[in-house]
Chain A
């Protein structure tokens, strides 16, 4: 097998592979930077919680519109925004911390979602959707993913400065500007958007995984924010490509394989990353003069 056969031919020969590639790269582009900010704000598990929180919305969308991307996306977005807004409002106006407040709301939301699903008999279709299929992306799903990642990058560029300051020194931001609260909510809206878009098109696991694994891995490659964002995006894209190729040749399910590739990238970063990687720490090096 030549290099061409191994790496390029699957995408040239099969349209579904090209679609999967475009979709997962689009997702990685938007989710990577969002994941880095989530990690830096110590909200790495936020994505998991939100993936559960959007269930009732997606389920309602499913009840109304069947397996329709539009209905389920709209439902998921609404449910996600409501949970984020409520959790954020409670956290900002009471002494309850954001994670605790989110835990409370997402559990209620999840219970509501499971109840709604069970009301209408078969949930096999829905489970299929929740675990997604990256190999069955139609035009609408691709447009959705591309729009979400484009919007994410533009909005992040606009709120970058206050968002960074809200992370580093929130009390300073508060002393010079009122933008802290709104910026935080806009950022959470971006997280929800990426998760909902990702989970309808590609499945929950893939949506959360492609957001967080590259972000966590990026810390081992850069010690400064811009570098981390670039590293996370790059790792996300490479994991998508590698995962798709591996799943094609080995006959593995593509979504989980992409995440396994990202997991592998994380392990490799943990071991060999130049910024605090394990191997570098094990090599005995003499201390510097100053």
Chain B
């Protein structure tokens, strides 16, 4: 988008803060007592084994999931801001109904929601913005194509075009490169780098450690609980990866009520023993 130049100048950025955050389903925690913050302008990878609560954490940040304990907040400087106004979220693809008769242009144009709202018109300028977003992801010429007739990679390109239009301070990507070929992945990663250069906060759940090392300066490793958080080279150590895998294996179906809320936090060893 040509509009990106002025965003770079004005964007103050938004940060994400967790305070003793526990998220889960049916009282079972998927994210357990997570505290910390993601600075404005970060380019952060979230890694961890399957079932580590990575997607759950993103849902918690978006507000689609109410915390079982603690809180998550979005702040601009020191003051809290409304999540929906600042954040764009790309979930794992399955949420979209591929059979719905809507064309690529219309799907991408929904990224203008914040500007147009429920009733606002989409004018000439907005149409140009949609065209530019489509061009940026290499989908020019696909405007009238039904979304059901796109390949997986093309649909992901379209969804990235929508993210471009959303023009958000915080961009959350849940496994954005799964089942994507290397050319498409490279194109989409160029957009991620561009967002980073525009001082947007980008958080991506990824499984490709080589990719994380190459592109993401910071990494948060989790396995329901925080394993490590910091510079990618410090986090992605064999010791941490092993620890993360062990913590997931310790999952207990008939778990007792968590005692942390009542008093001191037990050490990992105590919990495994109980």
Contact = CB atoms under 8 A, between A and B. Distances in A.
Contacts of A228: 101
The A contact surface, by secondary structure, is helix
Interface stretch (A7-15, A59-67, A166-174, A249-257): A166-174
A88 to B, nearest CB: 18
A170 to B, nearest CB: 7
Interface in B241-274: none
B97 interface: yes
Size category, A interface: 20 to 34
B88 A169 contact: no
A225 interface: yes
Contacts of B147: 168
Interface string A214-253: 0000000011110010000000000000000000000000
A165 to B, nearest CB: 6
B113 A225 contact: no
A68 interface: no
Interface stretch (B11-19, B102-110, B218-226): B102-110
Nearest to B26: A95
A223 B113 CA distance: 24
A45 interface: no
Contact of B62 (A162, A175, A178): A175
A161 interface: yes
For chain B, give the interface size range: 20 to 34
Contacts of B102: 164, 168, 224-225
B118 A224 contact: no
B113 A158 contact: no
Contacts of B96: 168-169
Interface in B116-149: 118-119, 146-147
Interface in B75-120: 84, 87-89, 91, 95-97, 100-103, 107, 110, 113-114, 118-119
Nearest to B148: A223
A122 interface: no
Contacts of B113: 165, 176-177
Interface string B50-88: 000000000000101000000000000000000010011
17 contacts: A159-B118, A161-B118, A161-B119, A164-B100, A164-B102, A168-B102, A168-B107, A169-B95, A169-B96, A171-B64, A171-B95, A172-B95, A175-B87, A175-B89, A176-B113, A223-B146, A224-B146
Interface of B: 62, 64, 84, 87-89, 91, 95-97, 100-103, 107, 110, 113-114, 118-119, 146-147, 162, 166
Interface of A: 40, 158-159, 161-162, 164-165, 167-172, 174-179, 222-225, 228
